[in-house]
Structures are given as structure tokens and as C-alpha cells.
Structure 1
Amino acid sequence: MERVQFQQEQMLAELKDLARKGLFSQQEVKQIMKKRTAFETALVRRVAKKGDFLRYANYEMTLETLRRKRIDRLQLPPSPPSISDYALVRRQFHIFERALKKFKGDIGLWIQYLQVAKREGARALVGRISARALQLHPNSPALYILAASHELQHLSPTSARTLLQRGIRLNPESVDLWREYVKMELGFVESLRRRWEVLGLDETKDEKGATQNREAAVETDGPSAMDADGADESEEARKEVMDGAIVNAVISNAVKAIPSFPLFNSIHSLIISYPCPPQLRRVLLEHLHSLLRARFSSSLEPDAAKLYATRFLTPELEGDELIDAVKRANEDLLDAVKTGPSGSTGMAKVYAQFVEEWIGKDIEGHMKLYLLTMLQSLCSSSSSPPLLSAHLRLITAANHPSPPSAQKIRKLAKKYTSISPTVADIWLARLDIEHSSGDTEEWKKTWGEARQHISPAAGKEDQEDLVNSVWFYGLDRVPSEELKETYEALLLEAMRNPSMHSFQEKLLNGYIRVLRDGSIRDLMAGTNIKGRQEKDLEHVAQKYLPSAEVWATAFDTFSTTASSTEAASRIDENEETVLRFIYDKWRVKSSSASGEAALAWAAWLVRRRRGAEAADVVSRARSLLDEQERHGFDIRWRRVLDEEEENDNGEDDTHDPARDQ
């Protein structure tokens, strides 16, 4: 506790100064001291926790924000700087320094420290933190990017370039570093262009005028203006720099280091979005796409083919030029789909994404109809699922310039599901169409057909979400009074297929939530539900044989029913009975389930200030575990107690001045 006492003594001067200036009352100063003492006590525990340091630092940040707001509100007259003007910020830095002594390997902590220092305008400190962090973590691209960004903000492109080059030497396969390097060189060229534009330098002047302009540029910009090409002072070299020679060289080196599509896509997005002259953007894109074509000369990957096909679609295009560029990109992608390997859905998916993307943009209706017509003609000659599902989505979209009749759309949807009956995406599109028609019986019938063809057990991992969406589709759309029966019907279907065990658990979790919600509604309406929840759960236990994981979810579901409603007291009365029932069912599943159940039940008891009962539950469960399981059990129980202690401490802060904002 000596360290806590030492820290308390360091606080006195700043707290006195805050009170003297009238920024905080004596009661608030006492509360600040109390909070800081609690934080300092947590920091000197035997096993340090990063969260304790972060909560402490966040408290100091909030306190500093409040101090500044009160200064503005009180409109205090100017006065000589005093300790309270900088003490709170200094304490934030001090907390991070203490945290980093214990957690040097935590890169996230270094980044947070850097961000706090930058926000407070501590330029020199940011430089020192960056140097220390990079010395400890030379393989972290994020640290190089942050450090280079700091140098650029303070007009030091040479230092930023050096940092990024060092980072690339140590991390040559980092896409983010190469992207930032290209961005920095783009910014450097743009800054030169704007300087010379302000100075009135014109590249079309004669040689004599160009020489005079060069001398003016060197005199104004200093060494950094000529660093770009190794101090070459010739007019030709200056023109090459303005035409993107340096940026093109960096792009070429990046492609040699990482010849992959993510790099091309990242640099393409950067060039497209960066504010630079259209001529320079066109030159850079041509160079990038020539490298892309050379890299994938034998066969373009689907994403690479799309990137190459859309190479002419730049932000400044509009009118006829934009229409011509979209048509050209569409034709290139159509050729790629038609000449691609038969049975492959990669290019079809990319083309569908392209059409959906451009139809969603603000372009004229004739252009949208053109893209839809091309997609429909491709669907007629190809049964690729991505094309069929995209076509269904687009013809029913709100922005369709000339939508077909509802009957025609339903007929087309039925045709597509017959062509690809095992594709969840197409069934979802058809279900949306049937549901929007207003025919309840028809969409329920269609939903049943979809479930027959789409099995969660047979679905691929990348299709799992879509498959689940098909099975759960009607649960979000049937009336609440039909929900229970619908769940029971789905559970019966799932039980007929033993391979659908994991999906059955998802259904059971939803079914239990429906049972809980129904009982809560009845309770709010004044209905006596005593014993009904246990009866419902007993029915679940006997008919569906839930796993330990389902009982765990059920415990969480029923333990969150308490609320600030008028029936909260009656809800609490039923909660304990139901949770005890779930606990008894859960703990008999296995020895590990017994430990999990005991921890959950004991945590609930601790939150109700029934520590003796919780200790008894933990003791009984602990006796059934072996030595290895007991060690992990003890650690988790200690964590439960620590969390409860932290919650109690948080509830005591009723007069915390940092809450006054």
C-alpha cells in the first residue's frame, strides 16, 4: 500500500489547484481522490490486468474533458499556467507508461497510447513512443503507418518515407504498408503540383523560363522539393515526377513483392478515391492495369477480371463518357463469363455483383434497362445460380425502371427454383416474391418446398447463413400466436434427420425463447403462470433431449427476464424456480456440464447477495471434478467474484463528477 500512498501524495497539489480555481467543489475533490485510490489499489494487485489501467486512463480522460468544459462555461480570466492545467493529461500518460511496463508485448496498448498523445498534441512524445514501439515490435505494420502519418502531419515527408521504407524492408508482404507508401508518394506529388501552381510555374514555358521556375522552386521548397528523383534538377525529370514516375515505380515494386489481387484492389481503390488531376489518375491506372494483365496473363481470376474490365470507370466520368465506359466494362465481363470454365460460378457471381452495383447507382433508366436485358439474356443461356438469384432480386427491386407484372415475376421465380432446386439464395428470392404477393397460403407452401430441398446438414460452410435463413424465414413472418406451433413443426422435421443435430439446437434455442416470451406476456396480463414454465421445459427435456449447450442458453434466456416493468417483482418470483429447474437438468449432462451449471447458478446467487448458498453450490460441484478440471474451475469462479466486485464498485460512484457532462 506504500505505492498507493505515494500516488495519493502526488495528487494533492493538482487537486488543491482545481478547488482553488473553483472548477471542482470540495465534495467532488474528495470523490476524485476516492476513485483514484480505488484505481491505484487495483493496479498494485499481484496479477495486473490491462483493463484496470484502461479504466483508470479513461476516467482521467473524462475528468480532463469535464475540466475543459467548466473552464469554458465559467469563462475564467487569463492567468499564469498552474499545475492543474496539465496534471490530468500528464496522469493519463503516466498510467499508460505504467501499463506498458507490464504489457510491453501488447501492440494495441501502444497504439492507444499513441492516439491519446496525438489527441493531446504531444508531438515530441508521439515521436518517442513510436520509436520505442517500433524497437519492440518491428514486424507490426500498423505502428509504421501511425508513425509515418504523424510525420506527414508535421510536414516531414522525408522522415515518413524513411519510416515506410524501413517497415517495407521488414514486412515486404504487408498490403497496408505498400498502400500507405503509394498514398504518401501520391500526396507528395500533389503537394509539389499545388506549390508550383501557386508560384505560377507552367510546364509549357520555354527552357529559359523553366530554369528560372526551377530555381524559384528550389529556393522556396528546400531540399524536399528535389528529394523525389535524387536531386535531379532537369526539367524533364520534374515533368516525369509530375506524371507519376515515382508513384509508378512504387507500384511496380509493390507488385513484385506481393503479386496478388488484394494488393491490386487496394491500390486501385486508393488511386480512384485520391484527389488528384484526371490525367495523373489515368496514367497511374493504366500502369496498374498493365501490371495486372501481365500478372494474370494466362487466365484472370474472377475478381481480377472485374478490376481489369472496370479500369475505365473513373470518378470524373459523366454523361456519354460514363455510359460508354459502363458498356465497355459490361461487354468485357460478359465475354469473361461466356469464355470461362463451364460449371464455374466465380465469374458469374462477379458479373452479377457488377450489374447489381451499377443498377443501384444514380444512372439513367435506359442504362439500367440495358444491364438488366444483358443479365436476362445471360440467364437464358446459363443456369448459373448467382445470375438467377441476382436477376430475381433486381426485377423486384424498388429502383427498377420498368418492373414486370407480379404474375410474370412469380412464374419466373418458380422456373428458376426448378432449374436450381438446391440453391438457398434463389429460394430466398422466391420466398420474398411470394410473401410480398400477400397470399399467405402460397408463401407458406413455398417455404415448405424450400425446406424439403435445402437441408442445413447438406449445406456448405460458406452457405450456412443462407440455409439457416431459408429454414428460419417464416419464423419472422408468422403471427406470434402461431409461432410456438411453427417451431414445433420445424423441430419435428429436423428430428427426422439425425445429421441435423446442430441445426436442431438452434431451433430449440429459439423455441425456448418463444416459451419464455409467451409466459412473460401472460404474466404482464395478470395471468397466473406458476408451474407452467417448468412444465414447458419438462416437455422440452423429454421430447427433444436438449444438450448441455441448449440448457446453458436456456439459463441465460430465463436469467435475463427481470426488468424495470410493473410486473418485475412477479417475474423475479418465478425466475428462481425456473433457473433452479434448468440448473438441475443442465448439471446431470456431464462432469464438465456440472461445473458450467454450478458457475452459472452460483453467479446468479451472488448477484442476489446470497453468497453462502453460492459457496455451497461451488463446493459440491468442485468435489466432482478431477484435479485439472478443478484448477480451471477455480480460476473461473474467481473471475465471477472479481466481476461482481467491480460491479459493486461501479454502483458506489453515485457522486462521481466525471458523470456531470
Structure 2
Amino acid sequence: MERVQFEQEQMLAELKDLGEKGLFSPGEIKQIIKRRTAFETALVRRIPNKNDYLRYAAYEMGLEALRRKRVTRLKLPKSPPSISDYALTRRQFQIFERALQKFKSDVSLWLQYLRVAQRAGSRALAGRIAARAVQLHPRTPALYVLAASHELANGGMGAARVLLQRGLRLNADCAEMWREYVRLELGFVEALRRRWDVLGISLQDSSDRGRGRGQDPENQGERIDRAEEEAMGDEARGAIMDGAIVRQAIDGAAKALPTIELFQNLQTLIAGYPVPESLRNSLLDHLHARLAEALPRHAAAVALHATRALALRSAEELAGDALVDALRRANEEMLAALDADGTERCPQDELAATYAQFIEEWCRKEDVDAHLKLYLIGSLHALIKRQTKKNTPSAVLLAAHVHLLMELVHLEPSPPATPSRILSIARRYTSTTPMDARVWLARLQAESAHGTAESVNDAWANARHAVPTCTEIWLWGADRCCLSLQSSSSNSWEEFDALLAESMHDAALRDVHQSLLLRIAESIGKRSRGLASTTGERRARVEHVAKRCLPSARAWERIFLALTNPDAEIDEEDEDEEERVRGEEQEEEEEEGLVREVYEYWRGTGEVEEATLAWARWLLVRKKRGDEAMKAISRACGADGGGLAQKWAAIVRGSEEDQEGEGAG
């Protein structure tokens, strides 16, 4: 408590000054002392808590903001600075310094301290904080970026460059740092250009240089090292204006981190930076040359280069003839890569998936002309025909073609294909690639949208036979059965039961079988009128699953959760109130018996701890029978039951907190 007493003594002078200036009343000053004493007491705990420091600092920030507002409102006469003018801000810094003595390894704390110093306008302190943080955490790229940003904002272009270069030596695999380094060099070139324009320094090929967007030439020029500038000759100036420094930065990034994400980030950065058009195009050409060298067999690299014109232009520029030309060039370049031998450029499957994504993206845009969509889908169809003549076409292209035909079936003025044509194409594609699940799924969607009930069932049966281990195909039809189970009184349960039996014929379909059981759990827990309207019917399903379907522990868990879901309430809209009240008690008893039965099945799979915790939680929260819940926990706790007891204690505490919250509400 000596530290608390010391801090109370230190605050007397500033509080006295605040009172004499009339910024805070005596009552407010007493409240400030009380709050600070509480904060200081919290900070001297044996086990420190970072949140205590942050709450203390936030309180002082709010106090300083209030002081500033009152100074402005009261219009106090100008006077020499006094202790209250800076004491509150200084206390914020002291709190962060004390916190960092305890939590030096917390990077987020360093970042918050740096931002507080920057907001307070303490440039020298912010610089020292950044330097200390970088020294302690050399493997944290965000610290280098913030430190370099601080140096750059205060005229230290050389210091900012040194900081980022040092960070890149230690974090060469960080795309964010490479992007910021290229941004720094772009800013240096643009600052020099604007300064030289202001000074009237002319360079060769200056006719194309424009003024940038939204920048102040004088402020930009302040970031330049004047001695370095004076030592430059005309040749050096020309090289800088041509982007030589930026090209070196791009070369370093491409060599250290040759990833598609890096090139995408750099393209976005250069395309949006306010530099002359000729320099922008030159830098982008250089970037894409390095892209071709670094990732010659990467499908995304081919797409990035092909769609360059589409990505670089704004929405206003990319319209009319410009859009048509850019889209045509991108499409033709990607088609040329696909028509070439896959070993020369990149794997055909990856490139085909990239091209399909490109076609789908542009065909789904609402503001793209219908004729352009027909052109793109026609190009896709022509590519499939060419691949069919050579060899088996790519399955991802076939699936994408069917999906797009379905989506554009109502395209005006004329769709690319009629419903009957779509069905014919989908059936032909499944014959061409009978073992690919993507093509079968596309056909199933087409059959569901435009076929008959018989053709849908036949297609689904053929798909399960052709790709038996594809869970997605099985679930496609299983979901339809589940919908029928919940909304009708047909023989959907028998259909689903037959599907479960079919999935047990082969051991390779175990995952498929368990996925089907997870789907049926929801229908078992449903309490709507119709199918499974009574607990007895749902118990019959549970017993059938237990005896005939080999359920896993996960399936029993899902069934238990479905049965105990408080939202799965019975629909009583048309039920007589007296009859409902009379049968309510019996229904609850039967319901509890069913839940207990599922719990025992779940417990029998070996997951005793998980099942017991769920059962005990249900007894405690829903039935308000804590004693019985505790007995279930004691029954499950053996010689090594400490972990279960701890988990149960946490559940009990959470339940008590919820009850207290409801009571307070």
C-alpha cells in the first residue's frame, strides 16, 4: 500500500491546480481521488492483470478529454503552462510504462501505448516507444510498419527506409511488410517528382507528369533527405523518375516471397497509387514480368496477368467498348493457356478451375450486358468441345457450364439453352465423366429444376452408384427426404430407412452412413404435428436407429441435442387447451424417458464424460433437479474424475450467473 500512498501524494499538485482554475469542483476532485485510489489498489495485486492498467489508462484519457472541453467552454485567459496542462497526459504514459514492466511480451500493449503517444502529439516519445518495441519484438512485422509510419510522418524518410529494410531482413516472409516497403518507395518517388515540379527542375520525358490526387507537394517534399537530393545528378534523377528504386523493391519482394498473394497485393497497391500513368504502366509491366518468372506454372498467376486490365480500371473507365475489349482479351489469353499443353504453363485442372471461376464471376454480374454473358458461356462451351475432341474434358468446366446454363435460363432477350437442352447437356456430361461427383451434382440440380420426379430419383440412384463414397451426393437426396419427414405424412421415413440400409452394405461408406444419421437426428427431435407427433413415434425411431443403424457417439450426441433443444416446441395452434393441460404431465414424463434412453445409448458408446455432462446440464437447467444431476456426475466420476468434476463446477457457476442476470433484468 506504500505505492498507493505515494501516488496519492503525487497527484495533489495537479488536483489543486485543476481546482484553482475552476475546471473541476471539490466534489469532482474527491471522486477523482477515490477512483484513482481504487485503480492504484488494483495495480499492487500480487498477480497483475493487464486489464486493470488498461481501465486505469482509459479513465485518465476520459479525464483529459473532459479537461480540454472545459478549458474550451470556459474560455480561460492565456497563461503560462501549469502542471494541470500536462499532468493527466503524463499519467497515461506512466500507467503504460508500469504495465510494460509487467507485460513486456504483450505486443498489443506496445501498439496501444504507441497510438496513445501519437494521439497526444508526443513525437519523440512515440519514436522511443517504437524503437523499444522493435528491439524487444524483432519478429513482429506490425511494429516495424507502425514505427516506419511514425518516422515518415515526421520527416524521417531515411529512418523509415532503414526500419523497414531491417524488418524485412528478419521477416522476409511477410507480405504486408513488402507491400509497405514498396508503398514507401512509391511515396518517395512521388514526393521527389512533386518537389521538383515546384522547384522547376525539368527532366526528360516530363510531359506526362501530372499532379497526383489529393496530395500537398510541399508536405510531400518535407519527407526527402535534402543532402541526398542535392547530391543527385540528372542521370540519377531520371532513373528515380523511371521507378528504378521501386523496381528494386519489387525484385526483392519477388525473390524473397514468390507467392500469388504478394503479387496481387502489389498490383492493387501500384494500380491505386497516385503516380503518373506512364510510371504506373511501367511498374506493372515489371511486376508481371517478375510474376511470370517466379510463378510460371501457377494458374492464379495466369489469371492475374490475363485479367490485369479488368482489375486496374475503375467502374467508370470499365464500361462500354473498354469493358468488351478488356473482357475479350482476358478471355482469349486464358483460353490460349488452356489450349496449350499443360506441362508448358500450369496444370490443366487448376487452370480450368480458375477459368471456370472467371466465367462464373462475370456471368453472375448484374451490370454485365446479356450479349457479353452469351459470349462468355459460348467460349466455355467451345472450349469443352475442343477438349472433348482431344481427350476427356475437364470436369470442373462441365459442372460450371451446367450451373451457368441453369442460372441464365431466364436471360433476356434469349437464354443460352432451353430447359430440355440443359437436361440433355447435363446427361451427356455425366456420360462423358461418369466418375466425377461435381458433374453429377450439377446434373442433379438440373434434374431437380427441370426434370420429373422419376428422372430425379433415377439420376440420384445412378450418382450413388457411380460415385459411392461421395457424401455430398448422398446428402443431396437425404435432405429432401428429411424435408418430407418434417412436413408431410408420406412414406419418407421408409425411404430414408432404405437409404440407411443401403449405406451399410459397404464398409467404405461408413462416413456416408454416419452423415446420414446426423441428418435424421433433427427429424427425430422435431415435435411438430404430423409425422412423429408423439413421443412414442420418436422413441420407435430412436430404437430402430439403435438396433439397426450402428450409430456413432456423434450421432447420439446430435440426437440428444435435438431432443433437448428448447426451441423445438410442439405446435399447439389447433389443440384444445383443456386437452393440452390434461396430457402435459404425461407428455413430459414420456419425453424425459426418451431423453434418458438416448443418454444411455450415448453413454454406452464410451463417451461417458461428454454424455454425462450433457445429461446433468439438462437436468439442472431444464428440469431444475440439481441433486439428481449431481448424482449422475458422481456416478460417472471414477478414480480419475477430477476433470469431470471441474467441468461440472464450471457449468454450475455459469448457470448461477445466468440466473443472477435474469433476476437483475
TM range (shorter): 0.7 to 0.9
1:588/1:368 CA distance change after superposition, 3 Å = closer
Partners of 1:573 and 1:4 in 2: CA distance: 61
One-letter amino acid of the structure 2 residue matched with residue 334 of structure 1: L
Bigger drift between 262-271 and 171-180 goes to 262-271
Residue among 551, 556, 563 paired with 1:551: 556
2:297 is the alignment partner of 1:300:
yes
1:492/1:289 CA distance change after superposition, 3 Å = same
**Corresponding residue for 2:576?**
none
> 1:566-577 counterparts in 2 under 5 A?
573=588, 577=593
CA contact (8 A) 1:340 1:347 kept: no
**Corresponding residue for 2:600?**
584
> 1:238-317 counterparts in 2 under 5 A?
238-296=237-295, 299-313=296-310, 314-315=312-313
CA contact (8 A) 1:57 1:92 kept: no
Indicate the SS of the match to 1:345. helix
Partners of 1:376 and 1:489 in 2: CA distance: 39
CA contact (8 A) 2:60 2:91 kept: no
**Corresponding residue for 1:657?**
none
Residue among 399, 417, 421 paired with 1:389: 399
2:645 is the alignment partner of 1:640:
no
Bigger drift between 286-295 and 129-138 goes to 129-138
**Corresponding residue for 1:623?**
638
Q: Report the TM-score, using the length of structure 2 for normalisation.
A: 0.73
- 1:375 deviates by 1.4
**Corresponding residue for 1:145?**
145
- 1:286 deviates by 0.7
Partners of 2:111 and 2:500 in 1: CA distance: 49
**Corresponding residue for 1:371?**
376
Q: Where do 5+ consecutive residues of structure 1 fail to align?
A: 207-216, 655-661
One-letter amino acid of the structure 1 residue matched with residue 557 of structure 2: A
CA contact (8 A) 2:482 2:520 kept: no
Bigger drift between 507-516 and 533-542 goes to 533-542
Q: Report the TM-score, using the length of structure 1 for normalisation.
A: 0.73
CA contact (8 A) 2:564 2:595 kept: yes
1:82/1:42 CA distance change after superposition, 3 Å = closer
**Corresponding residue for 1:594?**
608
Bigger drift between 247-256 and 149-158 goes to 149-158
1:249/1:541 CA distance change after superposition, 3 Å = same
1:644/1:103 CA distance change after superposition, 3 Å = farther
1:289/1:646 CA distance change after superposition, 3 Å = same
2:179 is the alignment partner of 1:179:
yes
**Corresponding residue for 2:424?**
411
2:439 is the alignment partner of 1:426:
yes
1:453/1:101 CA distance change after superposition, 3 Å = farther
Partners of 2:540 and 2:60 in 1: CA distance: 53
2:479 is the alignment partner of 1:481:
no
CA contact (8 A) 1:451 1:471 kept: no
Q: Where do 5+ consecutive residues of structure 2 fail to align?
A: 207-216, 388-392, 573-579
One-letter amino acid of the structure 1 residue matched with residue 613 of structure 2: L
Partners of 2:252 and 2:662 in 1: CA distance: 57
Indicate the SS of the match to 1:224. coil
> 1:61-460 counterparts in 2 under 5 A?
98=99, 105=105, 107=107, 130-152=130-152, 157-193=157-193, 203=203, 221-222=221-222, 224=224, 226=226, 232-296=231-295, 299-313=296-310, 314-315=312-313, 318=318, 319-341=320-342, 344-361=348-365, 362-382=367-387, 383-398=393-408, 400=411, 402-403=414-415, 404-437=417-450, 439-455=452-468, 457=469, 459=470
Partners of 1:581 and 1:4 in 2: CA distance: 62
Q: Could you report, residue by residue, the CA deviation over 1:50-83 in whole angstroms, capped at 9, with x for unpaired residues?
A: xx866996899799999999x99xx986789999
One-letter amino acid of the structure 2 residue matched with residue 597 of structure 1: A
> 1:530-549 counterparts in 2 under 5 A?
533-549=538-554
CA contact (8 A) 2:482 2:519 kept: no
Q: Could you report, residue by residue, the CA deviation over 1:383-412 in whole angstroms, capped at 9, with x for unpaired residues?
A: 111211122222233485641222111111
- 1:333 deviates by 1.9
Indicate the SS of the match to 2:487. helix
CA contact (8 A) 1:53 1:95 kept: no
- 1:515 deviates by 1.7
1:92/1:235 CA distance change after superposition, 3 Å = closer
One-letter amino acid of the structure 1 residue matched with residue 637 of structure 2: R
Indicate the SS of the match to 1:447. helix
- 1:380 deviates by 0.8
1:42/1:82 CA distance change after superposition, 3 Å = closer
One-letter amino acid of the structure 1 residue matched with residue 186 of structure 2: L
- 1:507 deviates by 2.2
CA contact (8 A) 2:195 2:220 kept: no
1:477/1:560 CA distance change after superposition, 3 Å = closer
Q: Which has the larger radius of gyration?
A: 2
- 1:330 deviates by 2.5
CA contact (8 A) 2:63 2:88 kept: no
CA contact (8 A) 2:56 2:95 kept: no
- 1:169 deviates by 0.9
1:566/1:363 CA distance change after superposition, 3 Å = closer
1:59/1:489 CA distance change after superposition, 3 Å = farther
CA contact (8 A) 1:61 1:92 kept: no
One-letter amino acid of the structure 1 residue matched with residue 602 of structure 2: W
One-letter amino acid of the structure 2 residue matched with residue 554 of structure 1: I
Partners of 2:613 and 2:61 in 1: CA distance: 40
1:511/1:258 CA distance change after superposition, 3 Å = same
One-letter amino acid of the structure 2 residue matched with residue 541 of structure 1: A
1:66/1:388 CA distance change after superposition, 3 Å = farther
Indicate the SS of the match to 2:434. coil
**Corresponding residue for 1:501?**
510
**Corresponding residue for 1:514?**
523
Percent sequence identity over aligned pairs: 35
> 1:44-59 counterparts in 2 under 5 A?
none
Bigger drift between 505-514 and 105-114 goes to 105-114
Indicate the SS of the match to 1:396. helix
Partners of 2:406 and 2:110 in 1: CA distance: 50
> 1:10-29 counterparts in 2 under 5 A?
none
Q: Could you report, residue by residue, the CA deviation over 1:178-198 in whole angstroms, capped at 9, with x for unpaired residues?
A: 122112322343444455667
CA contact (8 A) 1:444 1:474 kept: no
**Corresponding residue for 1:212?**
none
1:397/1:184 CA distance change after superposition, 3 Å = farther
Bigger drift between 405-414 and 268-277 goes to 268-277
RMSD: 5.4
CA contact (8 A) 1:450 1:470 kept: no
Bigger drift between 300-309 and 406-415 goes to 300-309
Count of aligned pairs between the two proteins: 609
One-letter amino acid of the structure 1 residue matched with residue 363 of structure 2: I
Q: Could you report, residue by residue, the CA deviation over 1:39-60 in whole angstroms, capped at 9, with x for unpaired residues?
A: 99899697x8xxx866996899
Partners of 2:5 and 2:332 in 1: CA distance: 75
- 1:122 deviates by 7.8
Partners of 1:349 and 1:509 in 2: CA distance: 31
Partners of 2:568 and 2:7 in 1: CA distance: 40
1:135/1:64 CA distance change after superposition, 3 Å = closer
CA contact (8 A) 2:53 2:96 kept: yes
